[in-house]
Amino acid sequence: MSVFSKPPEGARPDFIRVDNFSFHYGEKQAIFNIDMAIPENQVTALIGPSGCGKSTLLRNMNRMNDLVEGVRHEGDIRIGGVSLYDPSIEVISLRKRVGMVFQKYNPFAKSIYENVIFSLRVAGRSKRSELDETVERSLRSAALWDEVKDRLHDSAFGLSGGQQQRLCIARAIANQPEILLMDEPCAALDPLATLKIEQLILSLKKQFTIVIVTHNMEQATRCSDRTAFLYMGRLIEFGETMQIFENPKQKETEAYITGRFS
Ligand SMILES: Nc1ncnc2c1ncn2[C@@H]1O[C@H](COP(=O)(O)OP(=O)(O)OP(=O)(O)O)[C@@H](O)[C@H]1O
């Protein structure tokens, strides 16, 4: 458990600020009055039993939950001091600042190259040198370039599962977001592919602020600096990963990490 590193100099300790945030799906309240300050250029893990609200909290960080009918929130989430709910914020520009990777890798039925630059194409950008540069930079950052540089125009579906997930990470960072949200990114991968993604997460935090949902506690200890334990929609404990796993302050956290409930 030695991955914890101090945020780099100048990094904002409260880059993402969750402020007395509650969230409802219709009559069902999924999140209760959460306060959190997520530091810049660190990896923050959200852990907790199934249904405790991890994905709901994560998906609110780029307003993905807006797409669900009948939802409402109270409180606020701010990125770099600006509320996600500020009327001047456009959801499309927000998603450029906040990339997302999902549990099941989901490349499009296109070539590796076109997958990476998908968002640039949507934005109407077509300058070949810019597209080429984006493809190489993103694939290098996603630790995939060496494996695919000779077959960029082949279908993404010809890649292994772990490679497809790294391609989805390359796609998510092609627009150079500030934040990368990862919702159980290794859930569908074998141990070796999982290890590669974990190593990648550690290298990506130099460039991005990462928030990851995981059911895998070893994964949280291997690749996060800070861990938040949620239970029944409430934030029970949040601190340095080592402290949460070695010296939890709350009895619910201890019960969860020692496997007394799942
Ligand atoms: N679209 C939805 N409509 C209604 N309720 C929902 C919806 N999505 C999630 N919920 C409910 O909100 C609560 C939190 O769900 P959420 O998916 O955030 O939990 P989670 O901790 O990520 O769970 P898991 O680990 O199983 O993915 C659960 O009770 C869930 O049933």
**Residue 2 confidence (pLDDT) above 50:** no
Ligand 1 geometric centre to CA of 140 (Å) = 34
Return d(Cα 41, Cα 84) in angstroms, integer: 19
3-state secondary structure of 99: strand
| Sign of the dihedral defined by the CA atoms of residues 91, 59, 67, 126, in that order | positive
Contacts of residues 153-160 at CB distance under 8 Å and 24 or more positions apart, as own/partner, are: 153/111, 153/112, 153/113, 154/111, 154/112, 155/109, 155/110, 155/111, 155/112, 156/107, 156/108, 156/109, 156/110, 156/111, 156/112, 156/115, 157/107, 157/109, 159/107, 159/112, 160/193
At 238 the pLDDT is 98
Tell me if 182 sits within 8 A of 101, measured CB to CB. yes
Give 67-96 pLDDT, tens digit per residue.
899 999 999 999 999 999 988 888 888 888
- How wide is the angle at C-alpha 51 spanned by C-alphas 39 and 244, nearest 5°? 40
Residue 156 lies in a domain: yes
Ligand 1 geometric centre to CA of 106 (Å) = 21
Give 177-228 pLDDT, tens digit per residue.
999 999 999 999 999 999 999 999 999 999 999 999 999 999 999 999 999 9
Ligand 1 geometric centre to CA of 181 (Å) = 17
Nearest ligand 1 atom, CA 230 = 21
Best of 22, 23, 25, 71 to mutate for ligand 1, by most ligand atoms within 8 A of CB?
Answer: 25
Ligand 1 lined by 30 (C-beta under 6 Å): yes
pLDDT > 90 fraction of the chain, expressed in percent and rounded: 85
Residue 262 lies in a domain: no
Return d(Cα 98, Cα 179) in angstroms, integer: 5
Residue 7 lies in a domain: no
Residue 6 lies in a domain: no
Residue 220 lies in a domain: yes
Residue 81 lies in a domain: yes
Ligand 1 geometric centre to CA of 119 (Å) = 28
Nearest to 240 by CA among 80, 61, 45: 45
What is the tally of structural domains in the chain? Answer: 1
Give 139-177 pLDDT, tens digit per residue.
999 999 999 999 999 999 999 999 999 999 999 999 999
Ligand 1 geometric centre to CA of 143 (Å) = 32
Nearest to 236 by CA among 87, 28, 53: 53
Tell me if 162 sits within 8 A of 190, measured CB to CB. yes
- CATH number at 196 reads 3.40.50.300
CB atoms within 10 A of CB 189: 19
Residue 3 lies in a domain: no
Ligand 1 lined by 60 (C-beta under 6 Å): no
Residue 53 lies in a domain: yes
Q: Which domain holds residue 228?
A: 16-257
Pull the structure tokens for residue 180: 């990368």
How far is C-alpha 116 from the geometric centre of its chain's CA atoms? 18
CB atoms within 10 A of CB 133: 11
Mean pLDDT of 20-35: 97
ipTM passes above 0.95: yes
